[in-house]
């Protein structure tokens, strides 16, 4: 079985949406307490959950197209790249040499597996 480009694109899209969801969880967590109501009416948390549902839809659709788990799941590892970029751009997190090295290794590994 060969994994289609469309399946790979679905997983790349899922990775980006997953990282955005994590960002929304992070910024939404500032406004929640132990009170469940504060979670249920937090639009950032709700949007993050919706994004995670979209991620699951993309996973299933990619497999329906015939995507191989051994190819697609490593592509989802690009979530770490998106999260690092979002953290640096929107949360003022520091991009260290070790983080950059990890990102380069993820990109290289993903490219090798996707081929």
Residue-wise pLDDT tens digits, 14-57: 999 999 999 999 999 888 888 878 778 899 999 999 999 999 99
Say how far apart CA 7 and CA 59 lie, in whole Å. Answer: 8
Say how far apart CA 23 and CA 16 lie, in whole Å. Answer: 11
For the entire predicted model, the pTM comes to 0.87
Distance of CA 31 to the CA centre of its chain: 23
């Amino acid at each position: 079985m060969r994994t289609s480009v469309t399946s790979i694109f679905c997983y790349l899209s899922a990775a980006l949406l997953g990282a955005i969801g994590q960002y929304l969880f992070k910024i939404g967590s500032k406004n929640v307490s132990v009170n469940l109501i504060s979670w249920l009416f937090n639009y950032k948390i709700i949007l993050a959950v919706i994004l995670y549902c979209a991620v699951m839809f993309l996973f299933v659709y990619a497999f329906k197209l015939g995507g191989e788990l051994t190819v697609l799941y490593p592509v989802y590892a690009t979530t770490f790249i998106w999260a690092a970029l979002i953290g640096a751009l929107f949360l003022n997190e520091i991009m260290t040499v070790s983080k950059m090295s990890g990102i380069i290794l993820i990109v290289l590994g993903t490219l090798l597996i996707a081929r």
